[in-house]
Amino acid sequence: MAALLPVGVSWWLVIALSWGVCCAQAAPLLTLEEARSRALATHEALIAARAGRERAGVASWRAWAAMGPTVHGTGSYTRVREPISLPSFGGLLPESFNTTVVAQDVVRGILSVTQPLYTHEFWALRRLGQAEIAASDSIYRAARQDVLLAVTAAYYDLLRTQALAGVAAEAGRLAQTEVAHAHARVAAGEAVRSDELRAQTQLAQAEQQIVATAGGVTAAADRLRRLTATQEAFEVAEPPPAALDLAAPEPFVTSAHSGNPDLAIQEAQLAAARAEEQRRLAALLPSVGTRWNYARLNHTTFSELDGYWTLVFAVQVPLFEGGGTRHLDLAEQRALVKQTEAQVAGFRRDLEVEVRNAYVTARTLDAQLSAAERQVEFARESYRILSAQYEAGVATNLDVLSALTVRTQAEANQAGVRYARAVAAVQLKRVAGLLGDTGESTP
């Protein structure tokens, strides 16, 4: 009876942990599509990207703002403490001309309106605004696809850990059965005490794995809950299968060159750098504009009249300013454009390698899945035969426990390959720029 006590305690531990995993799932179903929708609606990365798009929307108005009028109002107050007498220049001035400036308070108000008529910067500012909008759109697309990838990976990771928890629980149940078989054979004098101890060691290992997988399920559920902003408990279910043509990598490479949002961000930044180069060049070219001034005074003089206005048509030609600062700015921006061009070219080549690597990973896991499924079938049949042979006294206890270990490892490997394959397919779609709003389910 003393030998049976640890067995009973272990069996109840298996039941309790297995029941806890099942009860943790007794909640409303959260599908992959619903998880994605919740993440797209609440994730902070997308909220920030939307704000970036709103900010970039203002950039398109910079060109028009540069062509808009500028209005200034200037007021001044002057107090002349003593009269000022000017020379008469030997009677050259007319007698009606008063050569004395009377001491009094003078209040001036001047309204000035400047209207540019043409500047080369207008076109550069337009292209710069368009590049900023394109960059913000690509940043939003990249953030959206990253969120979709993260949610999908977290969803499949939870399915994987639950499958591993199921494998561990089944291994614990089978280990409990082998302990009972070994105990019965030892009691009948058909086996030695070491057989029972070996079976109990196998059971203890299974119990350890049950605890570890239960913790993995909790951690995976927490990650998915964080991404979807879900507070309540939920269940997950296997998404329906979706086909993915892995015949050749070239279609994915072509799609990445035209649709990868990260590449689009790089290209938009290059366009912005070129537009900024044109803007700095335009600052060195002539500009045309007008200026209208209107003055109101409480005291007029020979040089200042009340209600007097002027209209000036001006052509401004920059010749030299601040030690050639504008020329230095232009040279600096041209170097930056060359640097960005090299970075974009390198990113394109790296992206092609990344797509091909993702393709190889997805195809390799696709081929491994069928082999892993066959391995599970063989391992289960081998364990069944050896367990029956052990009960008949033909096989040894070590043979049965080794077969049980192989079966557990094969089932865990199958779960790992299955969900790694699903995530690899989604990662391939991400780098190819094909990851959208609809669910990429288990291929």
Residues paired with residue 72 on neighbouring β-strands, in sequence order: 112
Residue 11 pLDDT > 80: no
pLDDT tens, 399-431?
A: 999 999 999 999 999 999 999 999 999 999 999
Query: Rounded to the nearest 10 degrees, what angle do helices 32-42 and 193-228 cross at?
Result: 50
Q: Which two tokens stand for residue 24?
A: 């943790």
pLDDT tier at 5, thresholds 50, 70, 90:
very low
* pLDDT, position 190: 82
What confidence score (pLDDT) does residue 362 get?
A: 95
Q: What pLDDT, in 10s, does the model give residues 102-154?
A: 667 788 899 999 999 999 899 999 999 999 999 999 999 999 999 999 999 99
Q: Distance of CA 46 to CAs 98, 222, 256, Å?
A: 75, 20, 22
Class of domain 4-60+119-283+318-431: mainly alpha
pLDDT bin (cut points 50, 70, 90) of residue 300 is confident
Q: Which of 352, 339, 333, 342 is nearest to 262 (CA)?
A: 352
Residues 164-194 pLDDT 10s: 999 999 999 999 999 998 898 889 888 889 9
Q: State the Cα–Cα distance between residues 145 and 40, nearest whole angstrom.
A: 10
pLDDT at 306: 85
Torsion, CA 240, CA 237, CA 370, CA 433, rounded to 10: 60
Split at pLDDT 50, 70, 90, the class of 392 is confident
Report how far residue 157's alpha carbon sits from residue 233's, in angstroms, rounded to the nearest whole number: 17
More confident residue, 198 or 320: 198
Judge contact between 151 and 35, C-beta under 8 A: yes
- Which residues have C-beta within 8 Å of that of residue 386, sequence separation ≥ 6? 395, 399, 400, 403
pLDDT at res. 4: 36
Residue 6: CB atoms within 10 Å: 13
CB atoms within 10 A of CB 117: 12
Please state, as a whole number, how many other Cβ atoms lie within 10 Å of the Cβ of residue 324. Answer: 11
DSSP H stretches of helix in 229-324? 250-259, 261-282
How far apart CA 411 and CA 213 sit, in angstroms, is 14
For the cut 50, the answer to whether the pLDDT of residue 31 exceeds it is: yes
pLDDT, mean of residues 292-298: 91
pLDDT at 100: 63
100 SS3 class: strand
Task: Considering only residues 19 and 427, tell me which one the structure prediction assigns the higher pLDDT.
Answer: 427
User: Quick one: CA dihedral 299, 305, 311, 317, positive or negative?
Assistant: negative
Q: Rounded to whole angstroms, how far apart are CA atoms 403 and 134?
A: 59
Cβ contact 220:226 at 8 Å: no
Residues 69-112: tens digit of each pLDDT: 999 999 988 776 666 666 666 666 666 666 666 667 788 899 99
Cα(261)–Cα(265) distance, rounded to whole angstroms?
6
Instruction: Measure CA of the first residue to CA of the last residue in the chain; give whole Å.
Output: 52
Share of the chain above pLDDT 90, in %: 67
The identity of residue 272, as a single letter, is A
Residue 205 near residue 386, CB atoms below 8 Å: no
Alpha-carbon distance of 242 to 239, in angstroms, equals: 9
Q: Which band of pLDDT confidence, cut at 50, 70 and 90, is reported for residue 279?
A: very high
C-alpha 166, offset from chain centre: 33
The pLDDT value recorded for residue 242 is 74
Which DSSP symbol is given to 120?
T
- Which of the 8 DSSP states describes residue 76? E
60 touches 133 (CB < 8 A): yes
The mean of the pLDDT values for the chain is 87
* pLDDT for 262: 96
Confidence class for position 397, pLDDT limits 50, 70, 90: confident
* Per-residue tokens: 387: 């367990």
Cα(82)–Cα(191) distance, integer angstroms: 129
Place of tokens 């390698």: 353
pLDDT for residue 380: 95
- Output the pLDDT for position 13: 47
User: What integer is the mean pLDDT of 242-251?
Assistant: 89
Rounded Cα distance between 208 and 198, Å, is 16
Cα–Cα nearest to 290, from 308, 310, 312, 309: 312
Q: What is the mean pLDDT of residues 329-340?
A: 95
| pLDDT number for residue 7 | 41
Cα-flanking dihedrals φ and ψ of residue 113, to 5°? -125, 125
Cα gap 179→168, rounded to integer Å: 16
Q: How far apart are CA 277 and CA 280, in angstroms?
A: 5
Q: So where are the chain's domains?
A: 4-60+119-283+318-431
How are strands ordered across the β-sheet holding 308-316? 70-79, 105-118, 287-297, 308-316
29-38, 140-149, 277-286, 387-396: segment of lowest average pLDDT: 387-396
pLDDT band at 307 (very low <50, low <70, confident <90, very high): confident
Residue 49 CB coordination number (10 Å): 21
Residue 28: which residues within 8 A CB-CB, separation 6 or more? 232, 233, 234, 235
Specify the residue for token string 């720029």: 433
245 DSSP 8-state letter: -
pLDDT higher than threshold 50 for residue 440: no
Query: If pLDDT is split at 50, 70 and 90, which confidence band does 47 have?
Result: very high
Q: Answer whether residue 8 shows pLDDT above 50.
A: no
